[in-house]
Amino acid sequence: MSLKEKTAVVTGSNSGIGLGIARELAAAGANVVLNSFTDNDEDHALAKEIAAEFGVTARYIKADMSKADECRALIEQAGACDILVNNAGIQHVAAIDEFPVEKWDAIIAINMSSAFHTTAAALPMMRKAGWGRVVNIASAHGLRASPFKSAYITAKHGVVGMTKVVALETAREAITANAICPGYVLTPLVEKQIPNTAKEYGISEDEAIEKVILLKQPSKEFVTVEQVAGIVTFLCSDAAAQITGTTISADGGWTSQ
């Protein structure tokens, strides 16, 4: 499949799943815009590496996905947005009565509201181009709950709902909107959760991986970044043109329980 002439904007893509998705889309020929809230030489170097490796145009644009105006400015600065991957996300693990308010606000803004703002800014560009793909990186936690993750689960369920609305509002156009719901993928976001989960449950970090984190993942294997990225490129293909408003789980059987 070739995505030549398409421009993909991937939010939160200087690390983990987002970076893997940007690389996969570039490998399929798309020009890519990388993003995060930092503006380091390393961030721009990632874009240069992708451009050199895949022969596409790759840029890094700093924008803080916790801020509405910066979400919209990211899309405007990209100049084109045929493929929008809403991937930026953070996590915080705490009981609901101890959950810090500023963490709640940040998670709702970054993991949920940012997708509203970027989608609102990108849809007119997709309509003008006559083609578009919105791919929201939700989570198995967009479909199921676990204790101590109130903000994350609220945000991810919200993203799944928003995905359905975008699909209905674009149903008569060559635009689709879908959410991918991965189980646990071993990225910096999950690595950071291991000590907190161990603390919440009063167990060792090894036990936290086996007994808590992968407890609900019957395969007992982490999903890989490449597997999630492969679903994004599939959703950009012609074979997926009638797949819209739905969720695709990659969770080792978690949500079949």
Active site residues: 152
226/217 Cα distance (integer angstroms): 18
What is the rounded distance in angstroms from the CA atom of residue 185 to the CA atom of residue 232? 15
Which tokens in the block code for residue 80? 């084109």
Q: Closest approach of Cβ 19 to ligand NAD, in Å? A: 7
Provide the minimum distance between the beta carbon of 190 and ligand NAD in the complex, in angstroms, as a whole number.
4
Provide, rounded to whole angstroms, the least separation between the CB of residue 131 and ligand NAD. Answer: 25
Token pair listed for 60? 């890094």
Nearer of residues 137 and 236 to ligand NAD, judged by Cβ: 137
In the bound state with ligand NAD, the residue whose beta carbon lies nearer, of 129 and 218, is 218
Q: Which residue has the tokens 């993942």?
A: 217
Which residue type does 127 have? R
| Closest residue by Cα to residue 27 from 56, 59, 65 | 56
Binding region for ligand NAD (CB under 6 A): 11-18, 35-37, 64-66, 87-90, 110-111, 137, 139, 182, 184-185, 187-190
- Which amino acid, 177? A
CB of 174 to ligand NAD, least distance (A): 26
Residue 2 or 257 with smaller CB distance to ligand NAD: 257
Q: Which is nearer to ligand NAD, 133 or 149 (CB)?
A: 149
d(C-alpha 98, C-alpha 1), whole Å: 48
